[in-house]
Structure 1
Amino acid sequence: MSAQPARFSVPARLTESVRATGSPADLAWLAGLPRALPARLADRGLVAERLAEPGGRGSLVVFAHRADDLAPVALKLTRPSAGAAEAAALRVWAGRGAVLLLDGSDEGAGPDAAGGALLLERLHGEIPLRSLAEAKAMLEATSLLRRLWVPAPPGHPFESLADRAAATASRLAERRSLPAAADAAPLVDEALEALALAGDGGDWLLHGDFQHGRALAADRSPWLAVAPRPLVGDRAYDLARLVLDRLDTLAASPGPRGAARRRLARLAEAVELPAERVRAWTLLRAVDAALGAFAAGDAGRAELRLEFASWL
């Protein structure tokens, strides 16, 4: 018999994120989670153990085990329609460098079209790649990315990087008029110019949001990627998010400008990609994150990302 976690409540980080950025459908999904979770567990014959805390900003993860054989699993409930692309990417990777999607012959496994539920291999959620020293973490991260980068399969359902970049450019054009972002205009212009020079990096399946917190320790592999926002395009886009990781630590280091440039160059060299392409995508992602922070009223976070962009 399955059961929901004792005193189940939606994690605060998920609640705050959905309320701040969610659509009406997302808000309805959030309100229905306390009812949906026990139903999804019962559908799959699972016994809940505990929620992943603090959890993500777009999904709820519960650690559970199968009632019949006690096999440990993780059940992930995602915002409406958000799980389809993730599930498709996990199927392509089939456990190679990423958490395994437990579909196959398992009844009830895989994505639930109505509920956005993914049944996943259980990883060690309390041990992210971020727990390693930076130099070691970056080495492991680039090794993992090399495993994830595979040619996009024919007829794939994934968003193109060109479309995501166009949406980012449109968002920058809209947010550059924010009063708090007035001083960022030169960096916005430079980011958009860099985007135009980024060029075509091929049709590779990308994680889309790879960082040290999106790789967890596992039993069958030292580290496996989780929570992709998959898309197809230039591998340098994935690397750009990694360049931006641990920004607070980088800013506190001696000579952060030089440290930022060395980090970018070393990561590009590690995966044999042109540093200028990595710089272009990094600049775009840094400025977009900064203006997003301004829009959310987080001036401190915004200014740090703009400062980082100026170091590049």
Structure 2
Amino acid sequence: MSIADHRFEPPERLARSLGAGPADETAHAWLAKLPHTVQEYLERWELTPERVVTPGGRSSMLVLVRQSDGTPAALKLALPDGRAALEHAALTAWHGLGAVRPLRADTEAGVLLLERLSGEVSLRSLTEPKAVLEATATLQRLWVRPPQDHPFPSVADGTARLAGAVREYGAQPWAAEARALAEEALDLREALTAGGQEPDCLLHGAYEQGKVLAGSRAPWLAVGPRPLVGERAYDLAWLVRDRVDTLLASPGSGAGARRRVTRLADALDVDAERLRGWTLFRATHAGLSALAHGSRPAGELLLEFAAML
């Protein structure tokens, strides 16, 4: 094996996120091999590297590259845990409509080559009203009928793991003050997955303003899906939570949070009560997870937001 190029060492945020658990030998081995893996795919796909994106994400590494014809692209490397295959399947189904285009893939290895977007410019760079308008317009383009024989989990199956985490965290002594909220979130999730939903759509699964980047062939394109199939209210929930720190710092923040639910539900013809339920569930899960992993300010902020709903 050739000597690894230190330019391709994992960014600190990624190493800290995936390397935090000493028992996770798979993640540690993947991080250690990452510089070699980058070099392997640069050679295999005839790519010229420009730079590693920093601080980058918490679950993948992105290297800005140029293809052999000089076209800019982005090489994304993630743990080979199956998520890249789902991401590639969703991006392929969207055909570049509202989302980044995949150029090449080795999904078993967790490696994707994507069209280059302006990673420094997301919808968060816009004023809130403009960002919400663009975010909802882009999201609607992603809500298509799932392909036949698709590999995507349902919202019910996808949230079963989240519910397990809420149940586990909610039982911990440090979560005593959030226990009632955790129980409400679990009850809501149970009711929401019991039936009465609209026909299934292909969902982004992790949609927020920061996941919508400026592009050259379209003004705004979504990246980083965690695709599922199910009702649209689940996908819309994270937009309700966006810029939560600004919301909670405003007078009448509780009423403001509820108005967000109503406005977004009306704008996209989604049932407001189901949107409220999914928002509360997802915010509670995220808040408890943040507390469990030592991010107290973020966790408390999300749980305060969930309680307002």
Which TM class, normalised by the smaller chain length? over 0.9
Per the alignment, residue 164 of structure 1 pairs with 158
- Answer whether contact 1:178 1:295 (CA < 8 A) is retained: no
Per the alignment, residue 257 of structure 2 pairs with 260
TM-score (normalizing by structure 2): 0.93
Question: Deviation at 1:8?
Answer: 3.3
How much identity, in percent, do the aligned residues show?
50
Per the alignment, residue 63 of structure 1 pairs with 64
- Answer whether contact 2:91 2:102 (CA < 8 A) is retained: yes
Per the alignment, residue 106 of structure 1 pairs with none
Per the alignment, residue 9 of structure 1 pairs with 9
Distance in 2 separating the partners of 1:194 and 1:254: 28
1:140 aligns with 2:137: no
Letter of the 1:89 partner, please give it: A
- Answer whether contact 2:13 2:58 (CA < 8 A) is retained: yes
Distance in 2 separating the partners of 1:195 and 1:202: 18
Per the alignment, residue 208 of structure 2 pairs with 211
Distance in 2 separating the partners of 1:7 and 1:75: 14
- Answer whether contact 1:14 1:59 (CA < 8 A) is retained: yes
Distance in 2 separating the partners of 1:165 and 1:116: 23
Letter of the 2:35 partner, please give it: P
Q: 1:23 to 1:230 in 2, by over 3 A?
A: farther
Counting only pairs closer than 5 Å after superposition, residues 289-300 of structure 1 correspond to structure 2 as 289-300=286-297
Per the alignment, residue 237 of structure 1 pairs with 234
- Answer whether contact 1:128 1:213 (CA < 8 A) is retained: yes
- Answer whether contact 2:88 2:107 (CA < 8 A) is retained: no
- Answer whether contact 2:117 2:216 (CA < 8 A) is retained: yes
Q: 1:118 aligns with which of 101, 112, 124?
A: 112
- Answer whether contact 1:110 1:119 (CA < 8 A) is retained: yes
For these two proteins, the number of residue pairs brought into alignment is 301
- For the residue of structure 2 that corresponds to 1:151, the secondary structure is coil
1:192 aligns with 2:186: yes
The range that moved more, 136-145 or 182-191, is: 182-191
The range that moved more, 298-307 or 53-62, is: 298-307
- Answer whether contact 1:73 1:122 (CA < 8 A) is retained: yes
1:228 aligns with 2:222: no
Per the alignment, residue 180 of structure 1 pairs with 174
Q: Let me know the Cα RMSD of the aligned residues.
A: 1.5
Letter of the 1:150 partner, please give it: V
Question: Deviation at 1:6?
Answer: 7.1
Question: Deviation at 1:112?
Answer: 4.2
The range that moved more, 188-197 or 8-17, is: 188-197
- Answer whether contact 2:203 2:232 (CA < 8 A) is retained: yes
Per the alignment, residue 105 of structure 1 pairs with none
Q: 1:130 aligns with which of 121, 124, 131?
A: 124
Distance in 2 separating the partners of 1:302 and 1:202: 33
Distance in 2 separating the partners of 1:172 and 1:91: 32
Distance in 2 separating the partners of 1:224 and 1:6: 31
Distance in 2 separating the partners of 1:91 and 1:17: 28
Distance in 2 separating the partners of 1:62 and 1:270: 37
In structure 1, the gaps of 5 or more residues are: 103-108
Residues 224-264 of structure 1 deviation map (CA, whole Å, 9 limit, x = unaligned): 00000001111111111111111111111121111111111
Question: Deviation at 1:211?
Answer: 0.5
Letter of the 1:147 partner, please give it: R
Distance in 2 separating the partners of 1:101 and 1:7: 24
1:154 aligns with 2:148: yes
1:31 aligns with 2:28: no
- For the residue of structure 1 that corresponds to 2:258, the secondary structure is helix
Question: Deviation at 1:194?
Answer: 1.6
- Answer whether contact 1:129 1:215 (CA < 8 A) is retained: yes
Residues 191-250 of structure 1 deviation map (CA, whole Å, 9 limit, x = unaligned): 122223324233211000000110100001110000000011111111111111111111
Letter of the 1:163 partner, please give it: D
Per the alignment, residue 83 of structure 1 pairs with 84
- For the residue of structure 1 that corresponds to 2:63, the secondary structure is strand
Question: Deviation at 1:20?
Answer: 2.6
The range that moved more, 293-302 or 142-151, is: 293-302
- Answer whether contact 2:8 2:38 (CA < 8 A) is retained: no
Distance in 2 separating the partners of 1:62 and 1:92: 24
